Amino acid sequence: MLTLTLVVILGALLVIVLMNLFKKDPKPVPAAPVEDLANLTVSDARTGDVLSVAGAGDQMTDLDYTVDRGTRMDAGSRTWVELGGSYQNRRVTVRVGGDEEIEVYLHADPRRITLEDLGLSEDDLAQIDERQNPADSFDFDGATWMYRISREVQAWRDNQPTPTGFYYWEFFTQDGKRLLGIRKAEGEPFTVILSTWVNAGDITVYRKS
């Protein structure tokens, strides 16, 4: 009888030990970080926000616009985000990218630039793409434009599940202060986008309430 009692007691103790061993202590759910709306940077900007670029507007005023379209661009290992909207009845875009340091460029040039304006042809672009040579360049608008990349780009607009694609050539001025992108989507004409470098600290972000 004593042996049976000891077996029962030891069995009960074993059950208690196993229950404590496998019991998971409830852990509090971490609170979501509170966003500091007073100190948003351009890297935090998203669709619906208002961006104000100091001194970049007409007559040296601030360029203010509401972001109505956000697009993530994937070009191989390089990615950037374009935040577009309307300013003075024309489309403007802030481009935010960079690997180690943030690079911000503003497209607000009202001109409709063509390949002919650049002095380039479709065959010229094909040869540049084939060479992939950073020494390739051309002159336009009082500056020399140096080749940077050319490749297929996948554009993910506002987190849509399916991207759109286009082929892309990118050139910079020698001082890095201006960027020129040429896009060609299937069945569409070439599009030239001329952008200017801006200091990220010159852009104020106002979050949509």
Structure tokens given for 87: 């300013």
**This prediction's pTM:** 0.81
CA dihedral for 141, 180, 146, 124, sign (positive or negative): negative
Amino acid identity for residue 104 in this structure? V
Residues ≥6 apart with Cβ < 8 Å to 192? 113, 114, 115, 117, 118, 180, 181, 182
Helices (H), 23-137: 115-118, 122-131
**Total Cβ atoms within 10 A of residue 71:** 20
Token look-up 């992108």 returns: 181
The CA distance from 68 to 48, in Å, is 6
Give me the percent of the chain exceeding a pLDDT of 90.
76
What's the pLDDT score for residue 141?
Answer: 96
- The mean pLDDT of 10-21, rounded to a whole number, is 50
Instruction: Name the residue ranges covered by the structural domains of the chain.
Output: 40-206
What's the pLDDT score for residue 178?
Answer: 98
The CA distance from 156 to 79, in Å, is 11
Higher pLDDT, 15 or 56: 56
| Mean pLDDT score across all residues of the chain | 88
What's the pLDDT score for residue 134?
Answer: 97
> In the structure, what pLDDT confidence band is assigned to residue 2 with cuts at 50, 70 and 90?
very low
Over residues 75-125, the pLDDT tens digits come to 999 999 999 999 999 999 999 998 778 999 999 999 999 999 999 999 999
The CA distance from 207 to 209, in Å, is 6
> In the structure, what pLDDT confidence band is assigned to residue 8 with cuts at 50, 70 and 90?
very low
> In the structure, what pLDDT confidence band is assigned to residue 39 with cuts at 50, 70 and 90?
confident
> In the structure, what pLDDT confidence band is assigned to residue 165 with cuts at 50, 70 and 90?
very high
**Total Cβ atoms within 10 A of residue 146:** 17
Residue 19, pLDDT above cutoff 90: no
- The mean pLDDT of 133-153, rounded to a whole number, is 97
| Alpha-carbon distance values, 70 to 95, 185, 192 (Å) | 10, 19, 19
- The mean pLDDT of 191-208, rounded to a whole number, is 96
Residue 162, pLDDT above cutoff 80: yes
> In the structure, what pLDDT confidence band is assigned to residue 30 with cuts at 50, 70 and 90?
low
